[in-house]
Structure formats: structure tokens, C-alpha cells
Homo-oligomer: A and B are copies of this chain.
Amino acid sequence: MTYQAPITEIGFALDAIAELPAIAQLPGYEEATADLVAAVLEEAGKLAGEVLAPLNHPGDREGSVFENGVVRTPDGFQAAYRQFVDGGWNALPFDPDYGGQGLPWSLATAVQELWQAANLSFGLCPLLTAGAVELLQAHGSEAQKDSYLPKMISGEWTGTMNLTEPQAGSDVGAVKTRAKRNGDHYLITGQKIYITWGEHDCADNIVHMVLARLPDAPEGTKGISLFLVPKFVVNEDGSLGPHNDLRCVSIEHKLGIKASPTAVMSYGDSGGAVGYLVGEENQGMACMFTMMNNARLAVGIQGVAIAERAYQQARAYAFERVQGRSLDGSPEPAAIIRHPDVRRMLATMKARTEAARALAYWTAAALDRTKAEPDDAARAQAQARLDLLIPITKAWCTDIGCEVASIGVQVHGGMGFIEETGAAQHFRDARILPIYEGTNGIQALDLLSRKLLRDDGAAMTLLIHELRSGLPEAPELRAPLAAAIEALDDATAWLLEEGGKALPWGAAGATPFQSLCGSVLGGWLLARSAAQAAKGEDKAFAAAKLKTARFYADNLLGEVAGLAEAVTRGAESTLAFEDDDF
């Protein structure tokens, strides 16, 4: 159940796919030299492998516990979090004016993968803090930034996102939590659910970013405002004042990520929690959108991470577990890695994981370019690419996380079903990923309506063009990839035509379309990885990359035909069902 940071793989993906060396040429990112990147990955790998990973399984068994209004994280989490903060890890991608290191998001994304692979429950704490920091960086007042950002960027204080209420999940516009103007602040009243790390014992203060509604706000998403609501009110001198009028009511009993406390939060039981408006009144949703790309990328990375973790564990087991004889006829019992079906499972895990990593890092590179490209047009182009890739990355990488974790259980046979083995934990932990931060169905609708139809297919057409011009030369990769891109092009054309005219039709095929995009991109990025690796000096590494790309093209990419059919032909039969037919 150990985890070893795959530094070589990650370094390669950063270079070959994210093109980090080119990003490090952009203004503001000059510090991301090859040496620094190597040092960061090395040190982060140690913390992930030696400190966070060993806490993963015990953390699952113990879980976070809620007693008498207090949340106790599992044994070792407090100390690990202290070490994480002391190492300066929380500050990696943030504004240097407030103590951040201003490093590229692609590097921060790679480091993020290490935390999440080592310990998904632990990793959620800084993941949520990052979202809150971004919101404040983008929309906070100068005073708010001065008061909160340094402690949040260092990680001494953590952050949360308070969106969901019992009646307001995917439909954020249904939020009922109220905010009342009260001098220089607001009083917040209401209940929020599913608040990740909403209450815990690892930091001095918790800064809640809360969506609420003013008394005179318009209905729906246009009447939602964003408030900063600290657990302890912060005094003018920066010291901590009284406990705010908010409390954790309970934490959820969940399928997985049990060490991560998922809180029900109550605000204003005694008249109203002190909250500070972030941005403008009624502009809360717009504020949320600024952090959404980033948060969704981070969840996509969690999918990559859990896949990597599950793969490492299954690989170790396959080489160690002796059972049956090899088909080559040797009389001696053999490790199960000798069985072709086990090799197929491991190759699937490896190919899917590397494809998902490539996609996520490619997306992270686009994020960096939206921030640092000096040229307006280049920045806009990067933004369009990023917006297009985000739902695909979030959904596909998290689906892959679940798929790979499930194969990991299967490789273990009966042992996989026993909790002590640890494979089952990855399977349970991974299952949240296609749900939170916008279900994968919501991502698909976002992809269809905001990313494909809104610009009449411009960004997608550009992407398909790039895929076509970047086809690999090796014929065994080129032919299946060309066919797959053709299928993507056909499905896209159909959606722009039929699915645009009749939105339910497009929506019925949105999820298969999203999977189709992911599958094609994954295969294409693996071929690109193989081509880039061929330029390097490590011939064994290059050969493995080529084998992985071929395996994907031969064994997995064939799924695109069915997915494209589901888009273009599936809507009619889906929508033919009447309610009574179910």
C-alpha cells in the first residue's frame, strides 16, 4: 500500500505535454527553471510518499469524527498538515505579493497530483483552500486580501466553499441562505451541506466562502452574492477575535474519503454570522466562475491521482502474487503478471492513467497561458481552449479514476474485496469524483451549451484541426487516431446542427460526446507522448511510451465508434421513453 511519486512520468508529461519549458519563458513564470521544477517534484514526492501516503489507509479506517460540535481528524493529520504548511507547499501557484511563489499552474497541478495520490482525503483540504484563495485574489477588496490572503496562502488558515443546500445542488440558483446588511458587514443565516473540510482541527481559522441571497435580490443565479465568513472573526491587528455565529451540525457518513470531514454547516443560529461581501452584491455566481475552471481541473487531477495510486498497488500485487501457471507451459507456479489477462488489465490501467494525466496537464498549460501570455489574442485563444477542455478534463479524468480503481480491485481478486488490502478504499474514494464540483452530467451540459454551441463550434473546430495536423507518423497509430478524430468531427457536426436546434436532443448525447472527446484526446496525447519520448535519450522509456500509445489505440480507442453513435443516433431512442416506460 505504499505510494511512490512517479517523478519521471510527471516530469516527462510536464515537459512533453504541458511544455513547461516554454511556459517558463512567459513573463512572471521565469522562476520555473528546469532545476527548480526538478527540485520541487523531488521534495514534494518525498512529503507525499513518506508522510501523506502512510496516513491514507489508517485515515480511512479511523475517519474524521464529530463529537460535541468538534471535528477530530484522524491521527497524524494535524502533524502532517503542519509539515505541509511549514514546507511552504500551499503557496506554490499564488500571488507573490501575499506570500505566494507565483509558480505556473501546470507545475502546481503536477504537485497537486502527488498530494491527491498520496492521500485524497488530506489533499482536499488544500484543494478547497486554493479555491478560496483564488476567489479572494480575483474579487476581494484590498483590505480583505491584506487580512486573509497571507494566512490562507501559507495554509495557516484553510478555506471552504459553501454552495450546496439541501434543495440547491446542481441548481445553485436555488440557494436560500440569507444575508442582511449590517453596517460594514452582513449577517448570514442558513444551512449549507456537503462542506468539504468545513470544520476540522488542523488550522487556526477556517475561512468560509458562502453563497447567500440579499433580501431584495432577484430570483435564481442572478440574485446570489458571495460572502467571506470566518470561523473566528479577525481583529484589525490580524489576531483572532470571537467565534463567529456558525457551527458544524454534523458530518456525513460517506462511501469514501472518510478522513475528509464533509460538514453540515449552520450559520446564524444566534442572529447571524458576520460575513463580508466579496465582489459586488448579486455577482456571486460570476465570482464563482473565476475559480471554477481551476477547481474542476483540480478534481480532474484527483482522478489521475487515484488512478495512479490504484495502478501502483495493483502492479505491485501482480508481480508478487503467485497463482496458477504461465501459459508458456512452465510447470512452476507463476506470479499473476504472467497471465495475459492480468497484463491486459495492468496495461489498461497504465494507458488510461497516462492519457488522463496528459489531458490534465495539457489543460493546466492552457490555464497558465490564459494568465501569462503577453499577447491578447494568444491569451484569448488559450482561454477558449481552456474553457473547452475543462469539462472534458474534469469528467473524463474522474471517470478514468473510477474505472482504473475498479480494475485495481479486480487485479487483486478476492483480496481486493477485503478492506485491509487497500484497493477497495481507492474504489470507494474515487466514486465521489464524478459527482462533486459539478457532476459529470453537468460538465457534459456545460461542454455542449457553453463550450460548443455558444461559439458555434469555433473552439472545437480549432481543436479538431490541431488534432488532425498533429497525427502521428507511425501507421499503426495514425490510422485508428484518424478514424477516431473523424468520429469526433461527425459527432460535433451533428450536435452543432441537430443538437443545437433541439436542445434536448443534444443534451441526451452530451455525456457520450464528452466521453468521446476524452477518449480521442487521450489517444492523441499518448501518441504525442510517444513522439516526444522518441526524441529523448532514454530508449527504453521511449519504447514503453510507444507501446502504451499502441495499446490504447488497439484496445481502448475503439470505444469512440459506439460513443459517436450514441451522440448522433442515440438521442431519438433516449427521448422516446415516456415517464411510464421507466
A185 interface residue per 8 A CB criterion: no
Oligomeric state, in copies? 2
The answer to whether B508 and A340 touch across the interface, beta carbons within 8 angstroms, is yes
Q: Do A431 and B417 form a contact, CB below 8 Å, given A340-B508, A504-B328, A558-B566?
A: yes
The 0/1 profile, CB within 8 Å of B marked 1, for residues 364-407 of chain A is 00000000000000000000000000000000000000100010
A405 to nearest B CB, angstroms?
10
A444 interface residue per 8 A CB criterion: yes
The answer to whether A507 and B445 touch across the interface, beta carbons within 8 angstroms, is no
A148 interface residue per 8 A CB criterion: no
- How big is chain A's contact interface, by range? 35 or more
A436 interface residue per 8 A CB criterion: yes
A556 interface residue per 8 A CB criterion: yes
Contact of A555 among B315, B439, B503, B512 (CB under 8 A): B512
Please give, as numbers and ranges, the residues of chain B lying within 8 Å of A566 by CB-CB distance: 554-556, 558
Please give, as numbers and ranges, the residues of chain B lying within 8 Å of A327 by CB-CB distance: 503-504, 507
The 0/1 profile, CB within 8 Å of B marked 1, for residues 540-555 of chain A is 1001100110110111
Closest to A503 in B: B327
Please give, as numbers and ranges, the residues of chain B lying within 8 Å of A333 by CB-CB distance: 171, 174
A410 interface residue per 8 A CB criterion: yes
Contact of A413 among B167, B170, B557, B572 (CB under 8 A): B170
Please give, as numbers and ranges, the residues of chain B lying within 8 Å of A574 by CB-CB distance: 340, 343-344, 347, 551, 555
With A and B bound together, what is the CA distance between A215 and B573 in angstroms? 63
Select the residue from A167, A255, A508 with max chain B CB neighbours within 10 A. Answer: A255
The 0/1 profile, CB within 8 Å of B marked 1, for residues 228-262 of chain A is 00000000000000000000000011111000000
Segment touching B, from A96-104, A138-146, A316-324: A316-324
Contact of A579 among B164, B167, B319, B551 (CB under 8 A): B319
A87 interface residue per 8 A CB criterion: no
With A and B bound together, what is the CA distance between A504 and B328 in angstroms? 8
A225 interface residue per 8 A CB criterion: no
Please give, as numbers and ranges, the residues of chain B lying within 8 Å of A505 by CB-CB distance: 340
Please give, as numbers and ranges, the residues of chain B lying within 8 Å of A419 by CB-CB distance: 253-255
A125 interface residue per 8 A CB criterion: no
Segment touching B, from A20-28, A75-83, A268-276, A420-428: A420-428
Closest to A314 in B: B582
The 0/1 profile, CB within 8 Å of B marked 1, for residues 570-582 of chain A is 1111111101111
Contact of A445 among B341, B409, B440, B504 (CB under 8 A): B341
The answer to whether B410 and A436 touch across the interface, beta carbons within 8 angstroms, is no
Q: Do A410 and B559 form a contact, CB below 8 Å, given A171-B333, A341-B507, A577-B551?
A: no
Please give, as numbers and ranges, the residues of chain B lying within 8 Å of A11 by CB-CB distance: none
Closest to A323 in B: B171
Please give, as numbers and ranges, the residues of chain B lying within 8 Å of A323 by CB-CB distance: 167, 169-171, 174
A358 interface residue per 8 A CB criterion: no
Please give, as numbers and ranges, the residues of chain B lying within 8 Å of A254 by CB-CB distance: 417-419, 424
Please give, as numbers and ranges, the residues of chain B lying within 8 Å of A406 by CB-CB distance: 402, 431
A residues at B contact (CB < 8 Å): 164, 167, 169-171, 174, 193-194, 252-256, 315, 318-319, 322-325, 327-328, 333, 337, 339-347, 350, 402, 406, 409-410, 413-414, 416-420, 424, 427-428, 431-432, 434-436, 439-441, 444-445, 503-505, 507-512, 540, 543-544, 547-548, 550-551, 553-566, 569-577, 579-582
Contacts A340-B510, A561-B562 given; 7 further ones with Cβ under 8 A?
A: A170-B323, A253-B419, A337-B579, A340-B575, A347-B574, A347-B577, A555-B570
> Which 9 A-B pairs have CB atoms at the shortest separation, nearest pair first?
A558-B562, A340-B508, A340-B507, A558-B565, A555-B570, A255-B424, A341-B441, A171-B324, A544-B581
Please name 30 pairs of A and B residues whose Cβ atoms are closer than 8 Å in the assembled complex, sorted by A. A170-B413, A171-B325, A255-B418, A319-B579, A327-B503, A327-B507, A328-B504, A340-B505, A340-B510, A340-B575, A341-B441, A341-B510, A343-B508, A347-B573, A350-B582, A410-B440, A413-B439, A417-B432, A427-B431, A540-B580, A544-B581, A548-B581, A551-B573, A551-B574, A551-B577, A555-B566, A556-B566, A557-B562, A558-B566, A561-B562
